[in-house]
Structure 1
Amino acid sequence: MISPKIAKLIQYLPDTFVDFIARKVVDHIIKKYVDLDIKGQENIIGLKKPVIFICNHLSNSDGLILDRLLREQDVTYVAGIKLTQNATTNFGVRLLKTTVVKPNTADKEGLTKVINILKGGNNILIFPEGTRSRTGSMIEAKKGILLIAKLTKATIVPLGIWGTEKFMPISKEGDMAAETFYHAKVGLRVGKPMELPIKENGEDRHAYDERAIITLMKAIAELIPEEYRGIYR
């Protein structure tokens, strides 16, 4: 996004100034590089809080693109801690209201914060896969979203995104600061609000959880081109 040296220098400037510059830079980059196609906005008009927005995950730019749709929805993004620890990616993340979790761990503290945000009547966005897909298509989701949804009973809205893996590809070397931008067509679709499926008679917790997570992920998959659906085809 910007060079690591400049990103580190910016951290010492007043927050309001940095936020202003960050917004200008990101808006300019998206306008320059992205041909953005959004459909389904009518599905979020008049939604009552709290809402859990769920989306597939292809790139570190996903949140910046989603912000074009959700800016008026007062959403807190659930972000991996690495994004905030890197000066370059933190420059973009600071534009979004975030709560940090530690992916692939039993992060009870991070999970509690997410649940409290929803119970406080506020919206969140979470990527159920827990990480960006390295295959360019959907990968297996983590079960944390089910616990969050069960405890808060929040409305769930599926979102589907594609093309961001071409706009800001994942660095093959694993260096997020080295990731850069390319011209790309990006699609974003909004599904209809939904709830967790009702538990069937005699269905044990394991079977229910498997069915519930597949239901949520297929709601996302139906919004994106077939080649992006991965294991949820």
Structure 2
Amino acid sequence: MTGSKEDSQDAPPVDLSAEGSEPTKRPGFVYFLGYGIMAPVARLVFRPTITGRDNIPRIGRVILASNHLSFIDSIVIPLVAPRRVQFLAKSTYFTGTGFKGFASRTFFTSIGAVGVERGAGQAAQDALDAGRNILESDSAFAIYPEGTRSLDGRLYKGRTGVAWLALITGAVVVPVGLIGTQEIQPVGAKFPRIRKITVAFGEPLDLSRHGSAESGKARRGATDEIMAAIHALSHQELAGKYNESPPAGTLQKLADRVFPRERV
């Protein structure tokens, strides 16, 4: 499987060697307390239809790669998975002050979130580094290959960071198809609504046959396989492009044309 022109001309991935970095802290007491309370309440209120839970290995390194329709996705996946799952969230959820900051920090810690800075360059490297540390502690890590949530309900092209993580750590990838979560908390809604949803876990994917994590072709092929598996579960319309904001100005548009890059 081959990618687009921008993928075939990608630069080597950034060096995210874990050497010298601190292991990502595993969820502790707050996580287990929050999970014990929230999971049964969520199942009672939203009555999710869950399929394929047995496809998630109970031990070892596993990436849960999901489509992304709503903010609520990052709450749903950890609450219905049969093992502890960690994912990345905006660092601002952990740095607030006062009671509101305490409540936000406690809530996101309780569902297994790890705070990271958003953005490109060093911020993107730090995010992948955090994901790698989670996986190398033999944990489960959830990620959205589209990069950001879909505002129109279509499934967008996957970014290759998920493949790099799988190939560099040896983790298997379990595709996840979420259906209906955008109806619980649409964009702009302040409070969730009660709606039925479906969470489908697909069969684990061993992507090692695609090749080395250093190969752009291997990363693109592995990512396309992951996205095809997600599509088979979510049945979304395919967008056929990346989900990203347009370039900020003329110079950025020109740079994107002259120096096509791999989306990670």
The two structures have a TM-score, normalised by structure 2, of 0.65
Partner of 2:154: 137
Alignment-mate amino acid for residue 167 of structure 1? I
Rounded Cα–Cα distance in structure 1 between residues aligned with 2:150 and 2:229: 18
Partner of 1:216: 226
Determine if contact 2:163/2:220 at 8 Å carries over to the other structure: no
Determine if contact 2:31/2:112 at 8 Å carries over to the other structure: no
Partner of 2:51: 39
Rounded Cα–Cα distance in structure 2 between residues aligned with 1:18 and 1:196: 31
1:148-163 to structure 2, matched below 5 A, reads 148-163=165-180
* Residue 169 in structure 1 maps to residue 182 in structure 2: no
Alignment counterpart, residue 116 of structure 2, candidates 101, 120, 124: 101
Partner of 1:231: 240
- Per the alignment, in what secondary structure is the counterpart of residue 64 of structure 2? strand
Rounded Cα–Cα distance in structure 1 between residues aligned with 2:165 and 2:152: 27
Determine if contact 1:55/1:128 at 8 Å carries over to the other structure: yes
Determine if contact 2:34/2:110 at 8 Å carries over to the other structure: no
Structure 1 residues 52 and 131, CA, compared in 2 at 3 Å: closer, same or farther? same
Partner of 2:140: 123
* Residue 62 in structure 1 maps to residue 77 in structure 2: no
Rounded Cα–Cα distance in structure 2 between residues aligned with 1:90 and 1:164: 23
- Per the alignment, in what secondary structure is the counterpart of residue 156 of structure 1? strand
- Per the alignment, in what secondary structure is the counterpart of residue 197 of structure 2? strand
Structure (1/2) with the larger helix percentage: 1
| Percent of aligned pairs sharing the same letter | 23
Rounded Cα–Cα distance in structure 1 between residues aligned with 2:215 and 2:229: 21
Deviation at 1:94, TM superposition (A): 3.0
Structure (1/2) with the larger strand percentage: 1
Alignment-mate amino acid for residue 31 of structure 1? L
Rounded Cα–Cα distance in structure 1 between residues aligned with 2:203 and 2:35: 32
- Can you list the C-alpha shifts for 1:115-168, whole angstroms capped at 9, x where unaligned? 122112222111112211111222232221122112101111111101110101
Rounded Cα–Cα distance in structure 1 between residues aligned with 2:197 and 2:143: 19
- Per the alignment, in what secondary structure is the counterpart of residue 66 of structure 1? helix
Structure 1 residue ranges, 4+ long, deviating more than 6 angstroms after superposition: 16-19
Alignment-mate amino acid for residue 114 of structure 2? T
* Residue 80 in structure 1 maps to residue 97 in structure 2: no
Partner of 1:9: none
Alignment-mate amino acid for residue 91 of structure 2? I
RMSD of aligned Cα (Å) = 3.2
Gaps of 5+ in 1: 1-15, 172-177
Structure 1 residues 122 and 55, CA, compared in 2 at 3 Å: closer, same or farther? same
Alignment-mate amino acid for residue 109 of structure 1? D
Query: How many aligned residue pairs are there?
Result: 205
Rounded Cα–Cα distance in structure 2 between residues aligned with 1:84 and 1:134: 25
- Can you list the C-alpha shifts for 1:155-205, whole angstroms capped at 9, x where unaligned? 11111101110101111xxxxxx52222322110010111216237xxx93
Rounded Cα–Cα distance in structure 2 between residues aligned with 1:147 and 1:17: 31
Rounded Cα–Cα distance in structure 2 between residues aligned with 1:153 and 1:26: 29
Partner of 2:250: none
Rounded Cα–Cα distance in structure 2 between residues aligned with 1:211 and 1:186: 30
